[in-house]
Amino acid sequence: MDLSTCYCRNRHCKYHGLIGDAARLRMSGWHRGARRLKCLECEHWISARTGTAYAGIRTPEDVYRHGVRQLAEGLSIRATARNLEIDKDTVCNWLPRLGRHCWRLLDYFFRALHLTECQLDELWTFVFKKEKHLTAFEKLAGRYGDAWIWVAFDPVTKTVPTWRVGRRTLGDAIRFMKALKNRLDEHIPFFTSDELPHYADALLEVYGVMRTPPRRFPRGRPPLPRREPPPDLVYAVVIKDRERGRVVHVTTRVI
pTM: 0.78
Domain regions of the chain by residue span: 20-109, 117-254
Whole-number pLDDT of residue 249: 83
How far apart are alpha carbons 132 and 71 in whole angstroms?
30
CB-side exposure of 53: number of CA atoms within 13 Å?
A: 18
Would you mind telling me the total number of residues written for the chain in this entry? 255
Average pLDDT (148-167) is 93
Whole-number pLDDT of residue 198: 94
Average pLDDT (184-197) is 93
Average pLDDT (191-220) is 90
Q: Are 235 and 207 in contact (CB under 8 A)?
A: no
Q: Are 51 and 6 in contact (CB under 8 A)?
A: no
For residue 47, the cross-strand partners are: 36
Residues with Cβ < 8 Å from 30, sequence gap 6 or more? 36
Average pLDDT (7-20) is 81
Output the DSSP codes for 1-51: ---TT--B--TTSTTBT--GGGS-EEEEEEETTEEEEEETTT--EEETTTT
Average pLDDT (4-17) is 81
pLDDT digits (tens, 9 = 90+) for 134-154: 888 888 888 889 999 999 999
Nearest to 163 by CA among 144, 145, 179, 174: 179
What are φ and ψ of residue 95, in 5° steps?
-60, -50
The neighbour count for residue 79, using CB atoms within 10 Å, is: 14
